[in-house]
Amino acid sequence: MVYFLVISAYMIFILSIGFLSRKNLKQPEDFYLGGRKIGPWVTALSFLSAYFSSVLIIGGGGFGYKYGLSTLWIGAANVLLGCCLLWIILGERTRKMTKKLNTMTIPDFLAERFNSPESRLFSAIIIILFMFAYNVSILKGMGHILEVLLNLPYIWGIILSSVAIMVYVSLGGYLAVVWTGFIQAIIMIWGLLLLTFATLNRVEGLSNLTLKLSEIDIGLVESPGIWGLGGLISFALIVSFGAWGMPQLLIRFYSIKSIGVLKLGTIAATIGGTIALLPYLNGAASRLLFPNLVNVDLAIPTLVKSVLSPWGGALFVSTVLAAGMSTFAAVLIISSSSLVRDILDKSLKIKLNNKKTILYNSLSSFVIGLISLLLAINPPGLVLTLTAFSWAVIASTCLWPVLLGLYWRRTTREGVIASMVGGSSASLIWMYLGSPFKIHGFIPGILVGLVLIIIVSMLTKPMKEAELKRFFI
């Protein structure tokens, strides 16, 4: 009963934000970017809620259970590379250049920066297709937590959570996404802290946890431990450096109200990002408390049921729903924007007025969410594995064109196209081969992409200095 009351109140609250945000949608920029007037705290915390979804909580806990304390290095990489350095290196340049070019999506930026409609179309298709795998992993995480804690059938868990998101995103666009993300990040931080304190109390502290895990398998407390160096490093990189190429995170810099508030946003995102360590720690503790779990993705839900009171468990259910909903919402906005703006409007030249653009985005958000729901009914693989698959391909496509497009004047249109096609292909082929040497497909993807963008750019005609002044001055 407690769980039902808390979740019902939570659902009503976020749906009300969607209805209220609808009144502020006057033009496409409002739906895509909230009118570029989002403050630093809302930007930073909504960034965290989009970054650290239910995938981190459920999937990270599963990896902590399976591989032990060495997975804390993944969380550390999230904080340093995925939060701090990402904000420092990409924040100001992205805000300045995308505002100057009046671009609203990642494919939009690539097309304007390199005068390349091919880049727009290719990147938009990759984003839409491979975000489906990410959506499935998010819904799977939310479905598992509701399945274990509420005894709700998995299918009803994903229906309950996904339909609510589809409604408020379709209604309120980006404004609904960032404001619900802001609130959901606060819930997520408190929920993870509550679970961690309760868990450490149950296992009698961190020292005892380390000792007992070493008795099970010394690899659970050593680095790189059971996983192996190649697997640990490649996975840490994909969920940290890979974030540099993820549209649902980079879009935060498009929408922040000014460059002047980025410093405060960077500090807030970095400090808040330390919560990335907690699911892995709690997952490792679950190995000690529940050594015979068949499905490691159930480590955190089982832990919650064991160490928290009904009210504490209800708060944590809200935490997972908050984490999953905020990311799923952010991904829906990105996917619908890519479909409507980059494919229908800019590539197929289907001209839409402001009212129709907002309507088409609302409808496409709902349809993409519905397809994701259907795919999540019988999903393959572990939660975090699905996420890594989608991140690898999208980051291999977008990371270098965005980063070098912001910093390297010599980058050419041909170099960008070669990097996107070669990087994404290398990533897919490597994963199809079974990720040899325990190295994830993200690593060969970004390496091939980097080599191609540099070599092809150096071999092709550079943009004229007069054109470059439009971007760099």
pLDDT digits (tens, 9 = 90+) for 352-387: 888 888 889 889 999 999 999 998 888 766 556 777
Residue-range definition of the domain harbouring residue 153: 2-380
Q: What is the pLDDT of residue 1?
A: 66
Q: What is the pLDDT of residue 384?
A: 60
Whether the Cβ atoms of residue 157 and residue 165 lie closer than 8 Å to each other? no
CA atoms within 13 A on the CB side of 363: 7
Q: What is the pLDDT of residue 79?
A: 95
pLDDT of 225 over the 80 cut:
no
Whether the Cβ atoms of residue 146 and residue 157 lie closer than 8 Å to each other? yes
Q: What is the pLDDT of residue 92?
A: 93
pLDDT of 187 over the 80 cut:
yes
User: Is residue 240 situated within a structural domain?
Assistant: yes
Q: Which of 24-28, 299-303, 414-418 has the highest mean pLDDT?
A: 414-418
Share of the chain above pLDDT 70, in %: 98
Q: What is the pLDDT of residue 398?
A: 95
- Name the one residue in this structure whose structure tokens are 């989002």: 38
pLDDT of 137 over the 90 cut:
no
Q: CATH number of the domain that 88 lies in?
A: 1.20.1730.10
User: Is residue 162 situated within a structural domain?
Assistant: yes
Which residue, 306, 291, 283, 453, is CA-closest to 383?
283
CA 91 to chain centroid: 17
**Angstrom distance (rounded) from CA 465 to CA 76:** 41
Q: What is the pLDDT of residue 106?
A: 94
User: Is residue 272 situated within a structural domain?
Assistant: yes
User: Is residue 186 situated within a structural domain?
Assistant: yes
Which residue, 122, 94, 93, is CA-closest to 107?
122
- The torsion angles phi and psi of 147, rounded to 5 degrees, stand at -65, -45
CA 52 to chain centroid: 6
Q: How confident is the model at residue 473 (pLDDT cuts 50, 70, 90)?
A: low
User: Is residue 435 situated within a structural domain?
Assistant: no
Residues 453, 454, 457: CA angle, nearest 5 degrees:
75
Whether the Cβ atoms of residue 113 and residue 405 lie closer than 8 Å to each other? yes
Q: pTM of the prediction?
A: 0.89
User: Is residue 193 situated within a structural domain?
Assistant: yes
Query: What separation, in Å, do the N-terminal and C-terminal C-alpha atoms of the chain show?
Result: 60
Which residue, 178, 189, 157, is CA-closest to 17?
178
**Angstrom distance (rounded) from CA 163 to CA 370:** 8
User: Is residue 42 situated within a structural domain?
Assistant: yes
pLDDT of 121 over the 80 cut:
yes
What distances in angstroms separate CA 226 from CA 218, 220, 222, 453, one per listed residue?
9, 6, 8, 35
- Mention every residue, 6+ apart, whose C-beta is less than 8 A from residue 463: 115, 409, 412
What distances in angstroms separate CA 194 from CA 153, 198, 279, 412, 471, one per listed residue?
26, 6, 12, 50, 47
User: 33-78 pLDDT, tens per residue?
Assistant: 888 889 999 999 999 988 887 778 888 899 899 999 999 999 999 9
**Angstrom distance (rounded) from CA 356 to CA 348:** 16
Q: What is the pLDDT of residue 382?
A: 59
Is the pLDDT higher at 75 or at 224?
Answer: 75
For the chain, give the mean pLDDT.
88
User: Is residue 432 situated within a structural domain?
Assistant: no
Two structure tokens written together for 388: 């890594």
pLDDT of 113 over the 90 cut:
yes
Task: Tally the domains of the chain.
Answer: 1
Lowest mean pLDDT segment, chosen from 53-62, 286-295, 449-458? 53-62
